[in-house]
Structure 1
Amino acid sequence: MIKFFSVLCFAFVFNLNAVTAQNFSTHQVKKGETINGIASRYGVGVSDIYALNPDAKKELKANTILIIPISKAKKTEIFTTKELVGYKEHKTSRKETLYSISKRYDVTEDDIKKHNTFLYANTLNKGDKLQIPVFKIVKEEAKSVTKKYTVLPKEGKWRVAYKFGITVQELEDLNPGMGEVLQDGQEINVPNIGGDNVKVFDEKYSYYNVLPKEGFYRLKVKLGLEQAQLEALNPELKETGLKEGMVLKIPYTNSMNVAGEPIAKKTQLVTKITNFDTKHIAIMLPFRLNRVDFDSIRDVKGSIKKDPYLDASLDFYTGVLTALDSLKSLGLSVKVDVYDTKYQVSEVLKILNENNFKDVDAVIGPLTSETFDKVASELRAFHVPVISPIGTNLTLYDNVFQSRPSDDLLKDRIVNFVKADSIEKNIVIVSDTKNAAIANNLKQTFASAKAVYSRKGKTGNDLNFLYVEDIRSHLKPGRNYVFLETQSEGFASNVVSVLASLNSAATEVILVTTNFNPAFEGEQVSNDQLSKLQLHFATTTKSYEDMESNSFVKNYTKTYNATPSKRAVKGFDLTMDVVLRLATSKDLYQSVNNAPLTEHVENKFGYKKKLMGGYYNDATYIVKYQDLEIVEVK
């Protein structure tokens, strides 16, 4: 009998959920609403609502969730206006309440108080004579209940639900068959609310999707946030309370992705290869071989030293060649066309005119912005993806893949990292005049932070130093994050020395910067002090670990008798990523959805599509100095 009952319950729940997803929506009752008003709003009968919500016959409580039959609802929402036409007298009997009287006459409690003002200061008593307002209801056809919305890049169901103040389930109810993953440009139905009521998604916050049976206590345990804190970030909570599926704005945390989902896991492309057809790629680099003196090995070496573009191109290309060897060992065949762009737009046009690129699966390069822009714009007509190895300030045509994360993204990541530290902290911002704008921006983000600037000379010029007391007075017991914003090696050296002298067990100083540049790597700056201060920064690459067991390093060293440079590693990582994406998806564009995050030796790639444009890499690392090494913060 128990087994039969369990199966029956399961069947009922399953069938209800299956029907709800297709033919029903939900409505959360607000204080003062009546069943007649709700039925009128959705254009359905009262009996239709009672049939699905039998408890509503007994009492209609605020915050109760009602199931509304969409299949019977009208396409437009009907609003009602009330016109006072007279009164009914009512003498209060024992046990009657304002609520019961309001339900009896189908008016709101506020309506009764408004026409019996003594009730604002006194409770309702037996024998009170009340004037019950009688209204003439004037129905007006209003705007459509829903409207069409075009999905933006990076938008999932939870983000759209958050913007329009509904749950993910309610969004799915409005869009039967919308699919598991929203596509850029897809049209869906959303509540027809005005622009002022549409919430703005803010990258500076994280978002959490409320799970079944989660109350404020559980959220406090899980998120470390009191009810008042959640209500301050989500004012609607005061009116609606918590409900399953609603999306809450919470302080940024780097342990969760949007809506409380874990950070995207890396896709192991090597294990997902399905397409062994020959891949056709083109490599375009500014070798400028026409300027090389080939008379002797010594002359060739001299040409390489003199020409930074040739040096960079050869470094990158050695990484490409190492990647091709690795791909061959995986059973992948790659046809490679290599072109010397000579750092000239005219040469690029010549290459494009004299060669057929229609069947090329992907182009890696060119390195320089003008030549890259020309290649990308010319190949748009063939929808050939063009990948930039190093550029950031690019025109993102719809066929462009910007593999290097932008500087603005790096700044945001390190700022969010500091914000996410749950330990109570003090923020100090140190900068020179050239970086005053960055310091002011940080001050806006961290309102209580103290700003300290380089000492000035008589003419107002930066002297590029500070005294110990300039910073000591702003540090507090406990954890202190100090942002250092400068491109001056001398100033960096001075500040690092001062901070190292102030760092102690009682006053912990952690150095951070939004722009890690050569000033921090100069000879004047002590790596030992940077390690003691745990210098943190966001970067596009991390240092590869365990050289002896790294197959790429071993193969590269064996072939070229040298340790691979950063440019060689980028050539390897980018070539591996592009070809493996082609071998695991229909094309590079589809791979963005199939493999949202990939990682190789030093670089990771998490491409996001820009609205009406191409793709940019959203994946970065947070690293720090530790024991005289730079390690990833995990």
Structure 2
Amino acid sequence: MKNILAIILIAFTIGLSAQDYIEHTVKPGETIESIAKGYLVTPFDIYALNPDARRKFQPNTVLIIPNSKVKNESIIEDSRELIGYKNHKVKRKETLYGLAQEYSVSEEEIKKANRSLYSENLKKGDKIRIPRFKTVVSKQTLTNTVKKYTVLPQEGKWRIAYKFGISVADLEALNPFMNETIQPGDELNVPNIKDKEEKQVESTFGYYEVLPKEGFFRLKVKLNLTQEELEQLNPELKETGLKAGMILKVPEGVDTKSQLEAVEITNLKSGLTNFKTKKIALMMPYRLDRIDVDAVEETKEKIKETRLLSTVLDFHVGVMMALDSAKQLGISTDLKVFDTRYHVSKTAEVLAENDFSDYDAVIGPMEENSFNRVAMTLKADNIPVIAAMNKPKQVYNNVFQTIPDDKLLSKTMIDFVKADSLKTKVVIISDHAHKTSSEALQKVFPNSKLILTQKDKKDKTKDAYYIYHANLQNVFSAGRTIVFLETDNSSLASSVISMLNAFAVDKTEIILATLNKGKAFEGKDIDNNNLSHLKFHYPSVHKDFDETKSNGFVEAYRKEYGVTPSKYVARGFDITLDLLMRLASAENLYDASINSIETEYIENKFRYNKALSGGYINEAVYIVKYDDLRIVKAE
């Protein structure tokens, strides 16, 4: 038996040598991600050869690393090395923050040197140790070479990655200072392969980036392409197999962006395995510097009058309730709250004074520039940043955008109407600002009728925002007609809705719909009775909770505060509970956010899809409708 094991071990060793693998001994502070980045492979490559590393990863562990042909140029890196401690006796009014500033260290570094400070406050007379560091400049040299490549017009990251047979993540590792959006003329490091080995991007084909944990079966369901068909278009698959981040060539016309049909809601409760305490940061503009805590009544009035503060506090309550719900499931959380004051300079100060490298996720901030600063700063450590209340302009690789894109809302509404099995007529009423999108909608429904608003009689370049009653004469007949109303003008919406109600009599059923519901449908002149009569349908990020059913969250909130929770309370609860549940069901948030997982809570649902070159975007959308003066989920 012993000889057989020896033979197997020798055979395995020879196999490794033939494949040119490397042994790596894990050093303190290293992670799978940092090791993968150093060798320019993916974490999944390492796990494939070292499956035990998923559950047991510690210093001095020996890992087998595939020797990637992709190597970086020499990189000069600064690091801090602990060289000793300085004794300090705490004086009156001294704080951790002040000492950190005085000695140019972080509060966390002082706590690590004085473990008692994790549970006790700093007191006058305490004798503590202040860590001393020196900056070490190291030069990382990797043996294989790269060459310079000049970006051509219309080339993005994925096109270049495909051309050189690497993943987008590999390309980013080769170019640590590359802009998020590359421009023609930019010089990039690429693998030093022969020109004839470069793959050509062909306009007659489509391209798809393989997501984490996607196999051939999942791609068959998603792309309707078999393993044999994919291997025929991408011969290298026979040698390498599927890897996260690979760019695959697919036939033109294959929808690489749509999601799995009829994704079932995932019950994460049954799959909780990671019960390590989750370290979460919440960055919100509380603006505590503007509040006088001693003036209680004045503060109450300020909360009522300031919409932003009211929204933030509601969201915060939802977050705290989610932490409590997660705790009942065995998920503990270390939450740290930061006041960004809705200002990028304060956000920068928070980032400078705190070490977020070991956080599981950061929620917020709300202000666009502040969010961008946080996402960019934490990108280097691959810390997930959750866009909870805003849609960021730039979705970096570590960003989770929880609000679906407007284009997806529109597409979901169109698909909903197209799925109607009844013979339904379609009418489109639009102002001139929405003319282009309405004409595109008409092409989707070729037999539909498009009615545009009248122009101003004195100035033909201006929209008058009305249609004549005669425009709708003889348009409706017995049966069902879907009417898309595309406008942001409340006066137009009010008049059209009134006219449609007059036509919706006897056997003439009119269903009002819109691709993107704005404030036009919430004006003071909009009658909700009319919207209910027309069964107004629209796509939405959230739905209202069903008051006819028992709901522990709603009941707990009413008991505590005496009122029904706002949508911001529900959103804070849903986003935070979903985050904690996903973190407890996988090693990290990235692994728990594959597009086959769809979750739903009080008013929101989440199904993340990795953008081809960027972060994760929620693509779970509701179609809701007015029904007897209630807004309910449309089936």
- TM-score, structure 1 length as denominator? 0.62
Question: 2:627 corresponds to which residue?
Answer: 626
Write the deviation string for residues 141-169 of structure 1: whole angstroms up to 9, x where unpaired.
Answer: xx99x999985156874797799996445
Report the residue type matching 2:316 in the other structure. Answer: Y
Quote the Cα distance in structure 1 between the aligned partners of 2:474 and 2:594.
51
Quote the Cα distance in structure 2 between the aligned partners of 1:420 and 1:454.
29
Write the deviation string for residues 530-581 of structure 1: whole angstroms up to 9, x where unpaired.
Answer: 1121111110001111366111111112222221111111000000000111
- Cα–Cα, structure 1 residues 497 and 568, in superposed 2: closer, same or farther, change >3 Å? same
Structure 2 unaligned spans of 5+: 1-195
Write the deviation string for residues 501-531 of structure 1: whole angstroms up to 9, x where unpaired.
Answer: 1113433211110121222123322222211
SS in 1 for 2:450: strand
Quote the Cα distance in structure 1 between the aligned partners of 2:298 and 2:223.
67
Question: 1:322 corresponds to which residue?
Answer: 321
Say whether the 8 Å CA contact 2:216–2:226 is kept in structure 1. no
- Indicate whether 1:369 and 2:352 are aligned: no
Say whether the 8 Å CA contact 1:547–1:554 is kept in structure 2. no
Quote the Cα distance in structure 2 between the aligned partners of 1:417 and 1:280.
40
- Cα–Cα, structure 1 residues 468 and 590, in superposed 2: closer, same or farther, change >3 Å? same
Quote the Cα distance in structure 1 between the aligned partners of 2:443 and 2:590.
38
Structure 1 unaligned spans of 5+: 1-142, 207-256
Question: Alpha-carbon deviation of 1:598?
Answer: 0.7
Which structure 2 residues correspond to residues 45-444 of structure 1 after superposition, within 5 A? 151-153=208-210, 157=216, 167-168=226-227, 170-171=229-230, 183-186=243-246, 198-202=251-255, 258=260, 262-444=261-443
Say whether the 8 Å CA contact 1:150–1:186 is kept in structure 2. no
SS in 2 for 1:500: helix
Say whether the 8 Å CA contact 1:312–1:567 is kept in structure 2. yes
Q: How many residues align?
A: 428
Question: 1:555 corresponds to which residue?
Answer: 556
Question: 1:446 corresponds to which residue?
Answer: 445
Quote the Cα distance in structure 2 between the aligned partners of 1:268 and 1:295.
45
Quote the Cα distance in structure 2 between the aligned partners of 1:381 and 1:608.
21
Q: Higher mean Cα deviation, 596-605 or 296-305?
A: 296-305
Quote the Cα distance in structure 1 between the aligned partners of 2:265 and 2:365.
28
SS in 2 for 1:482: strand
Quote the Cα distance in structure 1 between the aligned partners of 2:415 and 2:229.
31
Report the residue type matching 2:324 in the other structure. Answer: D
Quote the Cα distance in structure 1 between the aligned partners of 2:270 and 2:396.
31
- TM-score, structure 2 length as denominator? 0.62
Report the residue type matching 2:343 in the other structure. Answer: Q
Quote the Cα distance in structure 1 between the aligned partners of 2:347 and 2:295.
29
SS in 2 for 1:473: coil
Write the deviation string for residues 248-277 of structure 1: whole angstroms up to 9, x where unpaired.
Answer: xxxxxxxxx65xxx5111111122211221
Report the residue type matching 1:484 in the other structure. Answer: L
Say whether the 8 Å CA contact 1:322–1:555 is kept in structure 2. no
Write the deviation string for residues 90-139 of structure 1: whole angstroms up to 9, x where unpaired.
Answer: xxxxxxxxxxxxxxxxxxxxxxxxxxxxxxxxxxxxxxxxxxxxxxxxxx
Question: 1:565 corresponds to which residue?
Answer: 566
Write the deviation string for residues 166-221 of structure 1: whole angstroms up to 9, x where unpaired.
Answer: 64455479756987xx5542377x7xxxx9xx3222479x9xxxxxxxxxxxxxxx
Quote the Cα distance in structure 1 between the aligned partners of 2:418 and 2:331.
45
Say whether the 8 Å CA contact 2:595–2:609 is kept in structure 1. no
Question: 1:29 corresponds to which residue?
Answer: none
Report the residue type matching 1:201 in the other structure. Answer: V
Write the deviation string for residues 576-602 of structure 1: whole angstroms up to 9, x where unpaired.
Answer: 000111111100000013862111111
Question: Alpha-carbon deviation of 1:349?
Answer: 1.0
Question: 1:591 corresponds to which residue?
Answer: 592
Report the residue type matching 1:391 in the other structure. Answer: N
Quote the Cα distance in structure 2 between the aligned partners of 1:442 and 1:156.
35
Write the deviation string for residues 22-57 of structure 1: whole angstroms up to 9, x where unpaired.
Answer: xxxxxxxxxxxxxxxxxxxxxxxxxxxxxxxxxxxx
Quote the Cα distance in structure 1 between the aligned partners of 2:378 and 2:223.
39
Question: Alpha-carbon deviation of 1:614?
Answer: 0.5
Quote the Cα distance in structure 1 between the aligned partners of 2:240 and 2:424.
45
Quote the Cα distance in structure 2 between the aligned partners of 1:584 and 1:151.
27
Quote the Cα distance in structure 1 between the aligned partners of 2:546 and 2:224.
46
Write the deviation string for residues 592-622 of structure 1: whole angstroms up to 9, x where unpaired.
Answer: 1386211111100000001121100010001
Quote the Cα distance in structure 1 between the aligned partners of 2:489 and 2:215.
43
Quote the Cα distance in structure 1 between the aligned partners of 2:349 and 2:486.
44
CA RMSD in angstroms comes to 3.1
Question: Alpha-carbon deviation of 1:392?
Answer: 2.0
Say whether the 8 Å CA contact 2:283–2:338 is kept in structure 1. yes
Quote the Cα distance in structure 2 between the aligned partners of 1:629 and 1:471.
28
- Give aligned-pair identity as a percent: 40
Say whether the 8 Å CA contact 1:153–1:610 is kept in structure 2. no
- Cα–Cα, structure 1 residues 163 and 526, in superposed 2: closer, same or farther, change >3 Å? closer
Report the residue type matching 1:320 in the other structure. Answer: V
Quote the Cα distance in structure 2 between the aligned partners of 1:296 and 1:623.
43
Say whether the 8 Å CA contact 2:623–2:633 is kept in structure 1. yes
Question: 1:481 corresponds to which residue?
Answer: 482
Question: 1:26 corresponds to which residue?
Answer: none
Question: 1:113 corresponds to which residue?
Answer: none
- Cα–Cα, structure 1 residues 474 and 400, in superposed 2: closer, same or farther, change >3 Å? same
Question: Alpha-carbon deviation of 1:310?
Answer: 1.6
Question: 1:492 corresponds to which residue?
Answer: 493
